[in-house]
Amino acid sequence: MEKRRLGRSNLEVSAIGLGCMGLSFAYGQPVEKQRGIALIRAAVDRGVTFFDTAEVYGPFTNEALVGEALAPVRDRVAIATKFGFAIDEDGKQRRGLNSRPEHIKDVAEACLKRLRTDRIDLFYQHRVDPEVSIEDVAGAVRDLIREGKVKHFGLSEAGVQTIRRAHAVQPVTALQNEYSLWWREPEREVFPVIQELGIGFVPYSPLGRGFLTGAIDESTKFDSTDFRSALPRFSPEMRKSNQALVDLIGQIASRKGITRAQIALAWVLAQKPWIVPIPGTTKLHRLEENVGAADVRLSADDLREIEHALANVAVQGARYPEHLQKLVGR
């Protein structure tokens, strides 16, 4: 698979990474451990070198899974994980945000153990903590970088002023935000700033949490443990309203002889050379489908057709309920 460099850093990774969250958290019941390990190793075999996890996924269990899966190939891959939540030691309760410098350093030590490694390639602040100055956060990660425990600093869902302030203390290698054919908000304010500063962009949910693949429609029933059941955009009414977008993507994909998922990922890749999407999956055939998108080349005519189609579809529904929306863009 082709490689991409995240911004002006020296962090070079596969053009498509693997978001590992769904193996343990958020989208229904966790997969059986050996199945999860097999899927992650299958991704490595297919050229994926960039793996995304976080302490809060589980909590803790996803990092442990990723660490065990990647231990035999550690020097061939880059692992990104995240800090920023207050989690009980038993991992059963998440209690708000915590990005105090001493907590960041404690989390780093725990992450290293769970990941079975001596360094974290990319350490993101998961959500901006209004109780802690971003300068203090960046300073704590800078200390970890100087100690060799962390290689690169990242932010997730941060606003542009936070990005600038953090970058002034410790250069930010990557920003992770939701971004896809049905959520393009980062293009307005975030893209110009990160391009100016030389920061890479890592879109999560580039397949619209599965909706853009065509595998979900208004009749789909979500398990009570599935995060999507709480998202306004995934109510049956909103799914019905947004089906027009999936249908348009399907028409274009059919003409090109590829899948909706491959169109959606190829479109993301075509937007900027410093974008590395991290679609997640629990299924081998979906992994292979996603990885195949790295070989799809959309022409200027293809991109214009997609842009024209998008202009005629108004996506309905908020991406987060209000209490979670408050945590993004700060």
Q: CA angle 86-278-319, nearest 5°?
A: 65
pLDDT surpassing 90 at residue 92: no
**Beta carbons of 275 and 268 less than 8 angstroms apart:** yes
| Residues linked to residue 138 through DSSP beta bridges, in sequence order | none
Question: What is the pLDDT averaged over residues 55-71?
Answer: 97
Tokens of 153: 């600093």
The per-residue pLDDT for range 37-47, each reduced to its tens digit, is 999 999 999 99
Give residue limits of the domains in the chain.
3-213+268-296
Question: What is the pLDDT averaged over residues 88-112?
Answer: 90
**Which residue, 97, 141, 136, 89, is CA-closest to 120?**
141
- Exposure pattern of 124-159 as b/e (b: 16+ CB <10 Å)? bbbbbbeebbbeebbebbebbbeeebbbbbbbbbbb
pLDDT at 330: 94
Kindly report the CATH number that applies to the domain delimited by 3-213+268-296: 3.20.20.100
pLDDT surpassing 90 at residue 95: no
**Which residue, 293, 211, 285, 283, is CA-closest to 256?**
293
Confidence of residue 93 (pLDDT cuts 50, 70, 90): low
pLDDT surpassing 90 at residue 89: no
Question: What is the pLDDT averaged over residues 18-37?
Answer: 96
- Exposure pattern of 17-50 as b/e (b: 16+ CB <10 Å)? bbbbbbbbbbbbebbeeeebbebbebbbebebbb
Place of tokens 């490689």: 3
Question: What is the pLDDT averaged over residues 298-325?
Answer: 93
Distance CA(316)–CA(240), nearest Å, equals 9
Catalytic-residue membership of 179: no
pLDDT surpassing 80 at residue 94: no
Distance CA(110)–CA(114), nearest Å, equals 6
Maximal CA-CA distance, the chain: 54
The per-residue pLDDT for range 245-255, each reduced to its tens digit, is 999 999 999 99
Catalytic residue among 27, 57, 124, 204: 57
pLDDT at 91: 73
Instruction: Please report, rounded to a whole number, the percentage of residues in the chain having pLDDT higher than 70.
Output: 99
pTM beyond cutoff 0.75? yes
CA atoms within 13 A on the CB side of 55: 31
- The DSSP secondary-structure symbol of 234 reads G
